[in-house]
Structure formats: structure tokens, C-alpha cells
Chain A
Amino acid sequence: MTADVAPAIPTTRTPAPARRPLLNTRRLTDVLSHAYIWLCLIVFVLPFLALLGYSFTGPGGTRPAQNFAYVVSSFGDNLLWSLKISALTLVINVAVSLPAAYAIVRQSFPGKRLLFSVLTLPLYVPGAVIGISLVLTYNFTYHLTTSMWGLVLAMSLGTFPLMLTPLVVALKDLPIVFEEAAECLGATRWQTYRRIVLPLIGPGLSAGLLLCFIIVFNEYLVTLFVHPPGLTTAPLRVFNQIRTAGLSPTTAALAVTMQLISFAAVLLFFRLFGTRHLKGTYLL
């Protein structure tokens, strides 16, 4: 950025023809960077377009709409499960991470940094490892039969660091003077937390919610290990469908639907949280 801007000052001062080659370099950089952006777009978007196209084809002359009608009638349950699991996981993640982040940033206790490292460990553990260890734990240690709550806890275990980390960052950026001011004005700890801290770390909270939602909603591997019989989430169903029926247009339609729901959730999220909480905070 700065390297681009710096030569611009001499060129405006001295419109000498000797400066021309510099301008050409800049134009070349422009063209190259645009080309790069388009390349990225094509590489990333093309698979989705292919999927979308395939979902509208019908083997044996079925109409495209039938694929999606089938999705709605047959996969409705799976989508609902996915949404339910995601929502419960988010609630648990927030409930666990908010106090944890506050303690990590505002309190001092021995081994604080070690604790934070340990808490973020699940991020680096492969899904299959989490899955196996949870199956072992549920079945042999706790003697739990798998249930929906088992699945929710599994999701929470794998994703709460994604909630914790943005919250810790947001809290670290929040000057402590706001809390001190509130306390001096007579607010209790809870009032300070609810009316001052929580709104001001909104951006961190919304980032955490978004990350967790995307991961949990699309999680397949851990679900495969710990899902209870009769509970099949949408990603799991897609995989099963491919395994049994092959890559049919209806499978593609389901994949497209999931993609759209994820996408809509992200958009809705930015509408609801992202902008509202970013507005008027000390960051802007």
C-alpha cells in the first residue's frame, strides 16, 4: 500500500516524462491484482456453480423442481436437527465462554496462560480423534447411551475455543476504565457486566457465534461417531446419500440447500449483530 502511494507524490509535483515507467509498473500491478482476484473467485465459486447446475438436472426426465421438493419433504427432518443442534451448541458455548473469557482477561491467577493454551487445544485435535475419544468416554467411562445431548456436548467441546478466542481478544481491547467508571457510579458487578461489558464486546461475541455456527452446522466427522440412532443431521445425510445412492441430482439439491442456509445465516447474522454492535462502540 505505502509503496504504491509513495511514488505518487513526486509524480504530481514533477510531471516529467521520466516518471512514465513508474506509472506503467503500477498499471501492471493493478492488472495483475485484478486478475488474481478473478482467478480466486473462479476457483472458489466454480464448484458451487457446478453443484448448482447439477442439482437442476433430472435423470430420466424429472423436472428440476422435483429435486428440491424431494429435499424439502425428505430432508426437512435432517435440516431441523442440524439447526437444533447448532442452536443448543451456541447457547452452551456462550454460557461457558463468556465467564471464562472474563476470568482469563480480568483476573490474575497462576497458570493463566497455560490454561488458555489448554482451553484452545480442541482446535488442533482432528475431528476423528475427538470422535473416538468421545465414544470411549460416553460408553465406558460415563456409561451414557448416546443421546442428542451427547452430540451437542461433543459439538461444544470441539468448537468452544472458537467462541472463547474472539471474546478474549475483544475483552483485552476493552479499556478497563469503562468498568471502573460504572462501578464508581454505583453499578454492581452484574450490572456492569450486562450493561457495559457485554454490549461493548458485541463484535467479538458475534464473530464467535458466526464461526461456531458455520462449523457446527456443517460438522460431519464427529457427528458420525457420536450421533444417536435415529438422529441424522443434514451433512451426515448428504454423506450417507452419496454412499448409498451415489451422486444423484437430489443429493446435489440437498447440498445446495445446505449451502444456501449457511449463506443466509451469515447474511442474517451480519444484519442483526455485526453492524448494530459495531456502530457506536469505541472502535469506531
Chain B
Amino acid sequence: MSTVRLASITKNYGATQAVHEIDLDVADGEFVTLLGPSGCGKTTTLRMIAGLVEPTGGRVFFDDQDVTFLPPRARNIGFVFQTPALFPHLSVADNVGFGLSVKRAKKPAIAARVEEMLALVGLTGYGARLPAQMSGGQQQRVALARVLATDPRVLLFDEPLSALDRNLRDTLKYSILDLQRRTAKTAIYVTHDQSEAFAISDRIVVMNAGQVEQIGTQMEIYLNPRTEFVAEFIGANNGLAGTVTGIEGVGEAARTIVASGELVLRCRSVALSPFGVGDSVIAYLRPEDVVVLQDGEAAEFENLVEGTIERVIFEGPTAQIRVDVGGRQLRADVSGSRRLSFPEGRGRVRLGFNDLTLIQAEPTNPAEPAGPADPAEPTGATGA
């Protein structure tokens, strides 16, 4: 219905900077997700778009209209909160019709719109109930109907599924996407759940410490993370800190040679990351890109290292193999029938891999990080 543009929007709470100079362009009808850990400023950003929080600096535009200092009621937005926040003293129908009745719409018009909206979210016939008589999932659907009833310019979601149980989350996230597609509304969605973000977004904005780390499609941020944070926050990753020792070849065959401890890694050179000899870098390696080779198996890989199996974690569809390579732990995810062929034990294996992503090491913490980015992170976090 409307484009949304943030121009170096900033929010300070006293001395703490919650959001720092965020720029974002959301196209008409696009579904953009703000993804980040708790406290990264994603909710504050969303609330500034809604007008619930007044920015310290910067501007918010809907189409070409500057709405930075308009109150929420003048912005014509649909905000879905973490809790359904249905008015407990009003019936479901009165809740859905609230936005129209405060605009002094005629009663028959409201009733018709309420019916239409309840049908849209699959709750026809529930109008007379009180919110307390409905389940959490139904309540959140009523909340959706309630914001859609006013035909808002922009839909804003603040972790709307986080209070629901897992199965319900899975079905409801596709309902949200479906409703957004059918109504062709611009949507901005806040979540800390990667699988949710990956499932429903056109584009994902990865945020950390009040700043945007990377904006891109699922594939862009997963396959080509630009920063250390994105590489480690999205999915599981093996990070190997090292130094560039040389460049080989040109064009497609160009390889950057990185020395990381005893390991010498040959990494594909992406044009947008031209590194020079002596640069401190971190080479990132996805666990699913590592092939675990047992004795004698022949293979052609650009990199081949040897190690000892430390742990095997069976996770259902995949098995996580933790391999000690020269004192560093590398994680390899094995799927298919091969996942069953690694008994727990201290067997010797070779690891073969081609694709390493190089990222400039941040000067502030040069000693970081070695081994799996987040050992506690279960696989499949980026699934779906």
C-alpha cells in the first residue's frame, strides 16, 4: 500500500544508544524482517515506525509523507504485538470493529467488515465470544483481523508468534505471510527467530547493537555474510581466524591463501572482498559444506585436513560431528545414511571442503574466534 523509508533514524535513551542511524527502504508490498538478538534495537526501530517511540534523530517516511512526529493514530498502521492484546472487556467482533468504530463508521458497515475480516482469518462465527474464551493462536488471529479491518498502509509485527507454542508458530507464520500476500500490504516484521525470518521474508535486515549489519535475501545473508556477526549469528558456522599469506590465480580460479594456526586454507576470492597479504581475516566454513572422509575414501577437495572425532551428536535428520583439528574444533553436519556411520569414538578422519567465506577480522577482538560459532546452537535453526 505504501513504501516505508527510514533515514538515519536514531534513538537514544539517556546515554545508551538503542538504535544508531539506521537507513532502510521498504518497497510497496514487500515483506521485510528485522532479525537480531534481544536488545539489538529491532523492536525500538519498529516502534519508531509505528510512532509509539519518538526518534532522537532521523526521519520516517511513508511514501513521500514525513510521518516522523505523527502520533500512531494518524499513521494508519496495523501493529500486531507480542501478546494478542485483545481488549478483554470487548467481544471478538467489537475488538475487530474497534478501529472502525473510533473513526465513527456506520454500524452496518462495521458489522460487514468484521464478518469479512473474521472470514479472512478463518474465525467466522466467533464474533460473539470474549477473548478469554479463545486459545492463544485464535486470539493472535483475531489481532490480525483487527489490524486488517482498518485497511492500514503498513503492517508492523513485533514478534507476534513468540508467545505461542512451536507447532502453532509454524502454521501461523505461513498464515501471516499468506494474509500479507493476499492483501498486498507492506509488512515489517521483527523476530529473533531465524527460521521464522527465513520462512516469510522477502528481505532480511540483520541487526546488532543498534545497527544494521546486513540487508539481503535469505541466500545473500546465509551464503555471503558481510560481517563477523552475520556469519556467526545466522546458522552455524566454523570460524577460523588467520592471516592472508598469498593470492593465487586470477578470475574464477583466484584463491586467497590463509594461514590459520597450522592450517593453510585455500579460499575462493570473491570480488567484493579483495584482501591483501598480511590482512587479518576470519575464514568461515558452514558445517554442511564439510565432507567427512573415512579411511581410504578418495576425494578431491581444495582443502583437506585431518583430525580426531571428539563427539557425534545425532539430531535426527543430521548428525553433528565435532572434529578436533590441530587443537581446534570443527563442526561437520552429515546427512543421509552417512550420518549413521559415525559411532562415537576417537577415530581419525579427514575433512574435505571447498567453500570458505572470508571476512575482515574486526580489529577490536583479533584473538576471536575459533571453532564452531555457537556450540549450543542446534542444527536446523536456519532450516525450512
Contact = CB atoms under 8 A, between A and B. Distances in A.
Interface stretch (B81-89, B218-226, B267-275, B289-297): B81-89
A178 interface: yes
Nearest to B78: A184
A182 B98 contact: yes
B81 A186 contact: no
Interface stretch (A65-73, A102-110, A276-284): A276-284
A180 interface: yes
B359 interface: no
Interface stretch (B69-77, B308-316, B321-329): B69-77
A189 B83 CA distance: 22
A51 interface: no
B284 interface: no
A183 B81 contact: no
Interface in B129-186: 130, 132, 146-147, 150
Chain A interface size band reads: 20 to 34
A126 interface: no
B98 A280 contact: no
Interface string B55-98: 00000000000000001110011110101010111000000001
B384 interface: no
A182 B146 CA distance: 10
Contact of B147 (A185, A280, A281): A185
B132 A183 contact: no
A175 B83 CA distance: 11
Contacts of B85: 175, 177-178, 180-181
A184 B72 contact: yes
A175 to B, nearest CB: 8
B50 interface: yes
A284 B88 CA distance: 9
A150 to B, nearest CB: 39
A180 B81 contact: yes
Interface in B102-147: 102-103, 130, 132, 146-147
B52 interface: yes
A188 B73 contact: yes
A196 interface: yes
Nearest to B77: A184
Contacts of A191: 102
Given A280-B89, A280-B132, A282-B88, A188 B83 contact: no
Given A196-B87, A280-B89, A188 B102 contact: yes
A181 B72 CA distance: 10
B99 interface: yes
A97 to B, nearest CB: 21
B150 A186 contact: yes
A81 B31 CA distance: 66
Interface in A177-227: 177-178, 180-188, 191, 195-196, 199-200
A187 B102 contact: yes
Contacts of B77: 184
Most buried by A among B50, B79, B89: B89
B102 A185 contact: yes
A181 B81 contact: yes
A197 to B, nearest CB: 10
The SS class assigned to the B binding surface is loop
Q: Which of A178, A199, A284 has the most CB of B within 10 A?
A: A178
B79 A184 contact: yes
Contact of A280 (B73, B78, B102, B130): B130
A185 B150 CA distance: 7
A282 B83 CA distance: 12
A175 B130 CA distance: 18
B72 A183 contact: yes
Contacts of A186: 73, 76, 99, 102-103, 150
A84 to B, nearest CB: 32
A177 B81 contact: yes
A199 B95 CA distance: 14
B83 A177 contact: yes
Contacts of B78: 184
Contacts of B146: 185
Contact of A281 (B52, B73, B89, B99): B89
Residue picked from A181, A182, A195, A196, most chain B C-beta under 10 Å = A181
A187 B98 contact: yes
A183 B89 contact: no
Contacts of A188: 73, 102
A184 B83 contact: no
Contacts of B73: 183-188
Interface string A43-67: 0000000000000000000000000
Nearest to A177: B85
B88 A200 contact: yes
Contacts of A199: 89
Nearest to A179: B85
Contacts of A282: 88, 132
B88 A280 contact: yes
Contacts of B98: 182, 185, 187, 195
A182 B88 CA distance: 12
A58 to B, nearest CB: 53
20 contacts: A178-B85, A180-B81, A180-B85, A181-B81, A181-B85, A181-B87, A182-B98, A183-B73, A184-B50, A184-B72, A184-B78, A184-B79, A185-B102, A185-B146, A186-B73, A186-B76, A187-B99, A187-B102, A188-B73, A280-B88
Given A184-B79, A186-B103, A280-B130, 9 more contacts: A177-B85, A180-B52, A180-B85, A181-B87, A183-B71, A184-B78, A185-B102, A186-B150, A196-B87
The 3 closest A-B CB pairs, nearest first, are A185-B99, A184-B79, A187-B102
Interface of A: 175, 177-178, 180-188, 191, 195-196, 199-200, 280-282, 284
